[in-house]
A and B are shown apart, each in its own frame.
Chain A
Amino acid sequence: MSGYGAHADHDEHDHHGPAPGLKRWLYTTNHKDIGTLYLWFSLSMFFIGGAMALIIRAELFSPGIQIVDPMFFNSMTTMHAIVMIFGLVMPAFVGLANWMIPMMIGAPDMALPRLNNWSFWIMPFAFTILLSTLFMDSGGPAGGWTLYPPLTLQMGDSFAFVIFAIHFMGISSVMGSINIVATIFNMRAPGMTLMKMPLFVWTWLITAFLLIATIPVFAGAVTMLLTDRYFGTSFFSAAGGGDPVMFQHIFWFFGHPEVYILILPAFGIISSIIPTFARKPLFGYDSMVYATASIAFLSFIVWAHHMFTTGMPLAAELFFMFSTMMISVPTGVKVFNWVATMWKGSMTFETPMLFAIGFVIMFTIGGLSGLMLAITPADIQYHDTYFVVAHFHYVLVPGAVYSLLAATYYWIPKWTGNMYDEKLGKIHFWTSTVFVNVLFFPMHFVGLAGMPRRIPDYSLQFADWNAIASIGAFGFGFSQLIFLWVVIKCIRGGKKATDEVWEGSVGLEWTVPSPAPYHTFEEAPPVAVINKNHF
């Protein structure tokens, strides 16, 4: 192992390793510690949100109201979405960014380590508040994660807590994003030009801009809800001259870029993993960067595809239909590039690669149903049915979540110094993949047949597919326990990982020892190493 990556000069730093005990985690400013905290936090949210999903699927196993009362059911769908989006996917990406971005660009840490500590510790605080609303008299939020008024304004007093929690999540995201932008702009090692950055860094840079530009709009929208409810304003109340449809415009102006926030870092992860296991450079690096940037740009002008049924003028319907369809062009470029990277590669199928290939195939299914939803006259039929639920779960579960699982398998040997149990990993992949399709594919059918979303009961003709979906849900949910077991096992021991970990790995993170020392790249890596380690 060449010495530059490891902690080299001892005299300059008085702290050689982490502080002992709990204080290490509370006060840490180390990017790897904070990354680990984020990852554990999001893993716990994965299971909490997953438990809610299983309550939903248990109730939907058969028609009629069996297990939970409808109000609680509604708060489960609402909470499940908020927990999975803001508690699992977003923090997990931030955790990966913390761990990997400094190592990928040859930087010793994030640009603003103190801020970094704050961004993390706000999160458990915000989610404690959010989850505590379930135990309040008025129950948790039950008007849907999109918080549409007037329904949302009619919920009980836990409303204020929900808004408060959302504000804190937003502050955390914006702080985290500012940190990432500053790190990428200012901390790259000499010779690490923008166009040599790994795609995970690129996609995160663009995601950070999306977050900084849209989270405040969301914060504004929920603040308006709050003042409408408690301070007598009438932004969305027709009785005072406001307009509830306006909320939908403001919300989706944030909401659509948000769905890309949930997928762009995933694109970056997949773009790292596929070349490694195809043992070929990424096909079309430049076009990947431009495609990401154009997706980000387009995501600002398509929001009203969530509102085709609100009675917009024809011209607006057409505009949003075509702009939405346009997004599939850069998305298609990406899928093409991944497939082209695998083309004639000498592929092996370790667990990260399996999840990456699963991502490419199943994310594409979600993209295709998205394209169907983009067709205005079709969407008027599909809107608010299970078809929409099938669409966004395909892009989010075998999409975003698979990228997170792939990333964990890919980098965990670097984090722990041990190889994970490959056999268990493969079992985890195959059970997840079978069950995730049993879970979500039937939703296309019941959706097309007209089953509405967000209901605890449904008419008899949907019974069979719903029962199958519920079986898939429990199968998928319990498969994730295998993942938990793999992670714990890998932390506790296993075959020692080499520095490179993977035969075909390319990138600075593979030039430091495994496990990565507490401090890496205090001395920037030589330019020659950078030039050798990029696509």
Chain B
Amino acid sequence: MSSETTTSVKSNGADLRKRHLMVSARMLMLAVGMFGFGYLMVPLYEVICEVTGLNGKTGRISVAESEARLNESLQGADGKFLADREITVEFVGIVSAGGNWKFTPNDREMKVKPGQQYLTSYYAENLSSIPVVGQASPSVSPSAAARYFNKTECFCFTRQEFEAKGSRDMPVTFVIDPDVPINVDRVTLSYTFFKSADQTLSSVDALNPQISASVAAITTY
């Protein structure tokens, strides 16, 4: 569309129709594309959160990788691994609104060295008299530390099934990356425990058909 494009409105009706269709088609494509872009923002957001630690989303690495990194930093002469550097990790457990659980960390806080693996656990108890599936969602603050907070194993990676009144300790192993900014000396790991959106139980069907029927009724609600 150059700025000199002008139209003689009367003379070329068919041509004009074609141009209206062209413009409309292009604009419609833009609209449909932007609708898609809205949905594309979902995976995009995930990636950005992972890279930046936005929203306190934490990292996940394998045990092997964590050991490799530890060795690397032990050997490195850049002094990042300071044997005497100590970070306090605080643990918080929150039950989301309406959840009928007990959910608390077994350790209130731990003093850890960057690069080394630690194990802690959370205690969860289903207070209701039917089986329920829970899902924990982690968050680390300050968010600047989030992407250096890596978990090698965590109950938050999977859905957690509980029998009626069932309870257990759920382990987390984590390692704080030695690259964590030097001004970070205190990190809070917090889990919010939700009733999972997906309430299908893997084991109960066989155990007790009556219960699974009542669970199905709850799920469809």
Compute how far the CA of A314 lies from the CA of B52 in the bound complex, rounded to whole angstroms.
Answer: 11
Interface string of B187-198 (1 = CB under 8 A from A): 000001011111
Which residues on A sit within 8 Å (CB–CB) of B192? 238
**Which of B22-30, B105-113, B117-125 is the interface stretch?**
B22-30
CA distance A64 to B77 in the complex (A): 66
The distance in angstroms between the C-alpha atoms of A312 and B192, with both chains bound, is: 19
Q: How far is the CA of A181 from the CA of B36 in the complex (A)?
A: 22
Most chain-B CB neighbours within 10 Å: which of A192, A241, A524?
A241
Contacting residue for B42 out of A174, A193, A212, A246, CB 8 A: A246
Given known contacts A193-B3, A239-B194, A246-B45, A213 and B30 CB-to-CB distance under 8 angstroms = yes
Contacts of A250 in B (CB 8 A): 38, 41
Which residues of B sit under 8 angstroms from A522, Cβ to Cβ?
9-10
- In the complex, A186 Cα to B25 Cα: how many Å? 14
How far apart are the CA atoms of A243 and B6 in the complex, in Å?
49
| Cβ of B167 under 8 Å from chain A | no
Q: Which residue of B lies closest to A194 (CB)?
A: B3
- Most chain A CB within 10 A, of B4, B31, B196, is at B31
The segment from B53-61, B66-74, B207-215 that touches chain A is B53-61
Say yes or no: A313-B7 contact (C-beta < 8 A), given A238-B96, A240-B135. Answer: no
**A189-B7, A238-B192, A239-B135 as given contacts; A311 in contact with B39, CB under 8 Å:** no
Q: Sort chain A's interface into a size bin.
A: 35 or more
Pairwise interchain contact A185-B197, C-beta atoms closer than 8 A: no
Q: A215-B31, A239-B194 are in contact. Are A185 and B55 (CB under 8 A)?
A: no
Q: Is A240 in contact with B197, judged by CB distance below 8 angstroms?
A: yes
A107, A190, A220, A313: the one contacting B143 at CB < 8 Å is A313
B221 CB within 8 Å of chain A: no
A245 to B48, CA, bound (A): 13
Give the residue name and chain of the A residue nearest to B19 (CB): A186
Q: Which residues of B contact A224 (CB under 8 A)?
A: 38-39, 42
A312 contacts across to B, CB distance below 8 A? 54, 143
**What's the nearest-Cβ distance from chain A to residue B2, in Å?**
8
> Which residues of B approach A to under 8 Å, CB–CB?
1, 3-10, 16, 19-20, 23-24, 27-28, 30-39, 41-42, 45, 49, 52-56, 96, 135, 137, 141, 143-144, 192, 194-198
What 3 A-B pairs have minimum CB-CB distances, sorted nearest first? Answer: A220-B38, A240-B197, A239-B194
| With A189-B9, A212-B34, A312-B54 already in contact, 15 other A-B pairs whose C-beta atoms are closer than 8 Å | A112-B20, A178-B27, A187-B9, A188-B6, A189-B7, A193-B6, A213-B31, A214-B34, A216-B38, A245-B55, A246-B41, A246-B42, A311-B55, A311-B56, A522-B9
